[in-house]
Chains A and B, each alone.
Chain A
Amino acid sequence: MRGTAAAAWLARRLAAAAAIVFAVVTLTFIVIHLAPGTPFLPGADRPVDPRLIAALTHRFGLDQPISTQYVRYLSRLVHGDFGYAFSQGVEVATALGAAVPNTLLLAGAALILDLAGGLLLGLMQAARARRTADIALGNATLFIYSVPTFWLGLVLVFVFSIWLRWLPPGGTTTPGLYESLPLLGRLADRFLHLALPACTLGVVGAAGTARYQRAALLETLGRDFIRTARAKGLTERRVLLVHALRNALLPFLTLLGLSLPFLLTGSVLIEYVFSWPGMGRLATDAVLARDHSLVTAVAIIASALVVLGSLLADVLYAVADPRIRRAS
């Protein structure tokens, strides 16, 4: 697509993405106001003075008409004010600001393992399609893909932390030791702590990616132009890695978009198992403490990330597929 057409397409996609996030925000608002009970009663355990409730209600503007509250809500969100996370003792935005980078680090590392490992496995399987290696790998990926991530995390902790004592069982750094380490030592410490949680998520993701990629490669290998490539006298390696892979990579890019929901969901469970201070951990703590603002904020941020990831995948696909790129 020439410049202006591409810009127009991108603008449309961005608008669509914004609309979805807006809809999510609106829906959360609706659900919050539908929920039974008031936000000030963390469980109907102890009776609270109704005058106190009335005062708080007024103070937080909850006695205003719904539409006013809605507008207030939106304007606050736009300004980055997600409210106050009483369970953490700080503004929600502050808590998120500390947590989101950790989750992005974990998810990023897992994604690299996922895509690289999955692509490699998929290629290996497609190259030896229907032979023993393929069947064995296929069963292995099927199993790993079906494993609960939290359980795999515990298994890996048992093997690598408890039994072999190679890797730490949780946290981002070694408390006490980290501060006294030089830069290289600090990086190493962080890396060691990142290893297990990232591998847990990455391995399960890679299994799924491998299955997907194998199918895409086999489908491509059945197409006419592969026969032409062979008829040209090209090596099987070139046929697979140049002709087939370039075509099978196109659906691979959509995996980027699909992986994000998996990674975010996984982060909730993995961060719990490994005590990793990210969004997921924040969310579970918030649920336990009935901290509505925090849970809502995490849900919205997660949705925004999913939408962004999907948009990114679309853009990459459009750039990579000459049929779309050249469409006028």
Chain B
Amino acid sequence: MSPRATVALLALLAAAGTAVAWARRRALATRAGRRFFGHPAAAWALRVLVFFSLAAALAPLVAPYDPGAQPAIVTLQNAAPSWAHPLGTDVYSADVWSRLVYGGRVSLGVGLLATAIALSVGVGVGATAGYARGWTDALLMRLVDVGLAVPRIFVLLFVVTFWDRISVGALVLVIGLTGWFTTSRLVRAEALSLRERPFVEAARALGASPARIVWRHLLPAAAAPIIVSAALSVGNVMLLESGLSFLGFGVQPPTPSWGAMVADGQGQLATAPWTSFFPGLTIALVVMSWNALGDALRDALDPRPEVS
């Protein structure tokens, strides 16, 4: 690996470490922050996420080789990990680490964007259903029932069958639009319980519009489960996207994606297992970090007071 790439890697590790240490110092002042960092996994999760996010964002600086470059030098195909290629090379004789770094852009990007879409729709629908009640609620919840009945992957397979080439943007949209159902139920439940509280009645009496009440009063109160749901959702989306890319239906080459990298390595599983192993391990680590984050957030934002 070139000196630049080595320095970049070390800098990333240092950056992840210091950023989390700084965040932790600031967070320990609040009770939620103390609870959050009370989970040893939480700090590690943050370090992993910061590391990969920075790596993805600064990919051109961090990756030692161009991920699209295929020297096609036969001797360089499926090379075992070495100093020049810390994670080895794949079937296209491209550097696995470089492709991982660039692949992170897609995987993390899809995860975050699709979750943002799912969350927005879910919160919107849930708040509307919970606040409006009556026919609106019944209709929307029936829609949610239907949405929950079809496993997401089949919807995606269905879509891919009918629309031949699916762009990354369309992929993000479809994943997002199939992932809002649980969130909407959550938000609806919160809305239903908060709706009867005095502060909402007071707001209504003061003439606040429903939209304003939802936005300024209901949502902040329901923020905790929404945030937790978001963290967990990113992990799920990443698993879904990598699964699709593994099958060949998701992100199309030459855009690198962690799932596709695992598929690429399938053919030489016996001779060069690292080509499938490292991308899959990366997915596992990042998803694990999102899940750990969700767990720690759930505890930290739990409104129940400390046991006295």
CB of A142 within 8 A of CB of B41, answer yes
**Residues of chain B contacted by A273 (CB below 8 angstroms):** 266
Closest to B143 in A: A23
CB of A299 within 8 A of CB of B158, answer yes
Instruction: List 8 additional A-B contacts (Cβ < 8 Å) besides A139-B41, A150-B243.
Output: A142-B41, A142-B288, A146-B285, A148-B239, A154-B262, A264-B153, A269-B243, A287-B157
**Residues of chain B contacted by A164 (CB below 8 angstroms):** none
Query: CA of A307 to CA of B146 in the docked complex: distance in angstroms?
Result: 9
CB of B164 within 8 A of CB of A284, answer no
**Residues of chain A contacted by B239 (CB below 8 angstroms):** 146, 148
Query: CA of A289 to CA of B269 in the docked complex: distance in angstroms?
Result: 26
> Interface SS of chain A: helix, strand, loop or mixed?
helix
Q: Is A112 an interface residue (CB 8 A)?
A: no
CB-defined interface of B121-158 with A at 8 Å, one 1/0 digit per residue?
00000000000000000000010011011111111011
Given A43-B164, A155-B277, A306-B150, decide whether A146 and B157 contact each other with a Cβ distance below 8 A. Answer: no
Partner of A292, one of B152, B154, B161, B262: B161
Chain A residues in the interface with B (C-beta under 8 A): 16, 19-21, 23-24, 27-28, 31-32, 35-37, 43, 135, 139, 142-143, 145-152, 154-155, 157-158, 162, 261, 264-265, 268-269, 272-273, 283-284, 286-288, 290-292, 295-296, 298-299, 302-303, 306-307, 310
Closest to B259 in A: A148
Residues of B within 8 A of A (CB-CB), count = 49
How many A-B residue pairs lie within 8 Å, measured between CB atoms? 146
**Residues of chain A contacted by B152 (CB below 8 angstroms):** 261, 265
Q: How far is the CB of A260 from chain B (nearest CB, A)?
A: 8
Query: CA of A139 to CA of B284 in the docked complex: distance in angstroms?
Result: 13
CB-defined interface of B242-253 with A at 8 Å, one 1/0 digit per residue?
110011110000
**Residues of chain B contacted by A295 (CB below 8 angstroms):** 157-158, 161
Given A31-B158, A139-B41, A299-B157, decide whether A151 and B284 contact each other with a Cβ distance below 8 A. Answer: yes
**Residues of chain A contacted by B164 (CB below 8 angstroms):** 37, 43, 290
Closest to A296 in B: B158
CB of B146 within 8 A of CB of A146, answer no
Q: Is B168 an interface residue (CB 8 A)?
A: no
**Residues of chain A contacted by B98 (CB below 8 angstroms):** none
Q: Is B59 an interface residue (CB 8 A)?
A: no
**Residues of chain A contacted by B246 (CB below 8 angstroms):** 148, 150, 269
**Residues of chain B contacted by A268 (CB below 8 angstroms):** 153-154, 157, 243, 247
**Residues of chain A contacted by B150 (CB below 8 angstroms):** 24, 299, 302-303, 306
**Residues of chain B contacted by A154 (CB below 8 angstroms):** 262, 265-266, 269, 276, 280
Query: CA of A286 to CA of B150 in the docked complex: distance in angstroms?
Result: 18
Query: CA of A287 to CA of B160 in the docked complex: distance in angstroms?
Result: 7
Given A265-B152, A298-B154, decide whether A290 and B41 contact each other with a Cβ distance below 8 A. Answer: no
CB-defined interface of B148-186 with A at 8 Å, one 1/0 digit per residue?
111111110110111110000000000000000000000
Partner of B151, one of A28, A36, A43, A264: A264
Q: How far is the CB of B300 from chain A (nearest CB, A)?
A: 16
Q: Is B292 an interface residue (CB 8 A)?
A: yes
CB of B242 within 8 A of CB of A307, answer no
Given A151-B276, A154-B280, A292-B161, decide whether A27 and B287 contact each other with a Cβ distance below 8 A. Answer: no
CB of A36 within 8 A of CB of B163, answer yes
Given A143-B284, A287-B249, decide whether A261 and B151 contact each other with a Cβ distance below 8 A. Answer: yes
Query: CA of A12 to CA of B102 in the docked complex: distance in angstroms?
Result: 52
**Residues of chain A contacted by B243 (CB below 8 angstroms):** 148-150, 265, 268-269
Q: Is B81 an interface residue (CB 8 A)?
A: no
CB of B269 within 8 A of CB of A146, answer no
Closest to B149 in A: A303
